Amino acid sequence: MIDFRSDTVTQPTEQMRRAMANAPVGDDVYGDDPTVEFLQTSAAEKLGSEAALFCTSGTQANLLALMSHCGRGDEYICGLKAHNFKYEQGGAAVLGSIQPQPVVNQSDGTLALADVEAAIKPDDIHFARTRMVSVENTIGGQPIAMDYWPQISQLCHTHQLKLHMDGARLYNAAVKLNVDIRDITRHVDTFTLCLSKGLAAPVGSLLLGSKEFIKTATRIRKMLGGGWRQAGILAAGAQIALDEMPKRLHEDHELAEYLALRLEEVEQLEVDRERLQTNILYAHCRLGKARELEAFLKQRDILIFGAQPIRFVTHLDVNRNSVDQLVAAIKEFYR
Ligand SMILES: *Cc1c(COP(=O)(O)O)cnc(C)c1O
């Protein structure tokens, strides 16, 4: 199968599988797993934070951040397109009694400062208490521009709000912008990073922030059933994702560029060049028929999500040859 649906489909590398088989482990609920401990310590250092927590997923890490910063009846400001608003089943509301206050995402993925400021509630008996702002980076594959961070951070500081960054694909942003990842993370209070997307670990995301914050998040994770035992088996794969995989992400970005060039040969598809910055490419089907295209490709062992626009994601387990096969099959579909 050639799979362009997401970078979550990446298989663990041979090196990861070997490390996982041989990992020293212990009961992580007691803080006894040396492989988890090492991952958390080295991640905090590498990513520029005081402490880190290894979590099952990005969804869990985001939920822990929300529930650590906000209590019952509080609210957070986020983008209308934010994963932690749109794609997490309203978990913050369901499990944390926390209200989302979404604002429009600008075309560059940011939340306009004026919109954020207007959404902050005054201290008034009618309103929920605004506690935090969440910004996603990358969002739809677009990195947030570096000059945005001091501005949003200043605004949050002025209003005593926590600033959280959903950095599921944060390394893609750092690679694209050619900056040290710590030059991004130093502007936010807390952030997440997915190890199981382009970084190819089988399972796991990191939540990062102050020691105090991570202590709170660890308590909540246990309450949510996320206390895990010999999790070092997973942390061993995640460690390689963190140490080795960021340096190859530029290959995914280059492959997405190649995919764009090839897809532009198909006149029935319109590639969204503005949003193509990293490893995610959107293409609008001029004739509709995205679902039919999905079914046609599936018969040829090629997987896409036939939404409109179609999203193609490049990753470790696809290459130029996969792109050529994809484009040939799409041309066959439209012939
Ligand atoms: C994938 C993703 C998540 C959630 O990660 P899971 O591990 O799939 O739960 C959160 N935020 C963003 C921006 C994502 O892309």
Span from the CA of 183 to the centroid of ligand 1 (angstroms): 22
Span from the CA of 46 to the centroid of ligand 1 (angstroms): 21
Note whether 218 and 29 are within 8 A (CB): no
Q: Report whether residue 88 contacts ligand 1, using a CB cutoff of 6 Å.
A: no
Q: Which domains does the chain show, CATH number per domain?
A: 2-6+248-334 (3.90.1150.10), 12-245 (3.40.640.10)
Query: pLDDT tens digits, residue range 15-36?
Result: 999 999 999 999 999 999 999 9
Query: pLDDT tens digits, residue range 186-232?
Result: 999 999 999 999 999 999 999 999 999 999 999 999 999 999 999 99
Q: Report whether residue 205 contacts ligand 1, using a CB cutoff of 6 Å.
A: yes
- DSSP assignment of 10-49 equals PPPPHHHHHHHHT-----GGGT--HHHHHHHHHHHHHHT-
Q: Which residues pair with 5 in a beta bridge?
A: none
Q: Report whether residue 137 contacts ligand 1, using a CB cutoff of 6 Å.
A: no
Q: Which of 200, 250, 231, 195 is nearest to 14 (CA)?
A: 200
The string over 146-179, giving b where at least 16 C-beta atoms fall within 10 Å of a residue's C-beta and e elsewhere, is eebbeebbebbeeeebbbbbbbbbbbbbbbbbee
Span from the CA of 126 to the centroid of ligand 1 (angstroms): 33
Tell me, what's the pLDDT at 313?
A: 98
Span from the CA of 250 to the centroid of ligand 1 (angstroms): 20
For ligand 1, mutation pick of 9, 54, 59 (most atoms within 8 Å of CB): 59
Secondary structure of residue 7 in the 3-state scheme = helix
